[in-house]
Amino acid sequence: MLQLIQFILAILFAAFIAYAAFRARSLSRSGAWGALLVGTVIFGLGGWRWAVLLLAFFISSSALTRTAAKRKAALNEKFDKGGQRDLGQVLANGGIASIFAGLNFIFPHVTWTWLAFAASLAAVNADTWATELGVLNPSMPRLITSGKPVERGTSGGISVYGTLAALGGAALIAALAGLVSPFGSFWLVTGVAILGGLLGSLFDSLLGATIQAIYHCPHCDKETEKHPLHTCGTPTVQVRGWKWLNNDLVNLGCALVGALIGFVL
Ligand SMILES: [Zn+2]
């Protein structure tokens, strides 16, 4: 009975958040349905501790993306609609975390579900923070594989600011995970989640530099992950990587590596 009430409250709460984010243009229509699903699973099957982490990821990453979108608008990239997450992005970021919230419901007395959940969210948060704040780095980023300087925003490029941002993003989720941990041990939980978060976002950059599908926009003469259309509306042409390995799958891989680190440790 208590679980049924928790589940109903979870649906209402997730619907409220998804609707608010849709109205604030942080989520597209499909993204809002995705958030309702992910939120219901995590709040309903996990509970309030799990909800705290999901909200910290969702609020901090949406806020950063919105600020970045405004900055881009100021730089006169006026066609960039920027920052609305769709269903694919929501599932790529929250899908793995939802699975571990579900596993927690089936295995309520184990610690690995919480560690994997926290590390997975730490990874996607680290990646989002690095993407949005890394562009502020004063010098050009360097490709993670070759160390060659590349243009800002290039997939697989890393920088000092980006790496510090990744650390901050992972640390926020990890510290909260330690604070509200269902079984205590603050330092263990925080340490594992930070490590999972950093390695997950590193994996993301590695894929971006090697096998992720990368496109070129002939109108802006820029490398991009966007396909079939660039943010300016021009069709993009593939220049490297595996065609099926899009940005959502790379983010999913980032979340999965984070979760695996949390699970194994
Ligand atoms: Zn373009």
- The pLDDT of residue 148: 94
Question: What span, in angstroms and rounded, lies between the C-alpha atoms of 11 and 254?
Answer: 27
DSSP H or E segment with residue 197: helix 186-209
Distance 65 CA to ligand 1 centre (A): 19
Cβ neighbors of 210 (< 8 A, separation 6 or more) are 145, 156, 241
- The pLDDT of residue 76: 47
Helix axes 2-23, 29-41, angle to 10 degrees: 160
Predicted TM-score of the model (pTM): 0.92
- The pLDDT of residue 222: 86
- Which residue stretches of the chain have pLDDT < 70? 72-83
Distance 81 CA to ligand 1 centre (A): 12
Distance 73 CA to ligand 1 centre (A): 14
- The pLDDT of residue 74: 63
- The pLDDT of residue 44: 94
Residue with tokens 């009975």: 1
Distance 236 CA to ligand 1 centre (A): 8
Distance 77 CA to ligand 1 centre (A): 10
Residue with tokens 């109903």: 8
Q: CA-based angle 227:14:24, to the nearest 5?
A: 55
Query: How many residues in total does the chain contain?
Result: 265
Distance 61 CA to ligand 1 centre (A): 24
- Reported as half-sphere exposure (CB side, CA atoms, 13 A), residue 122 has a value of 36
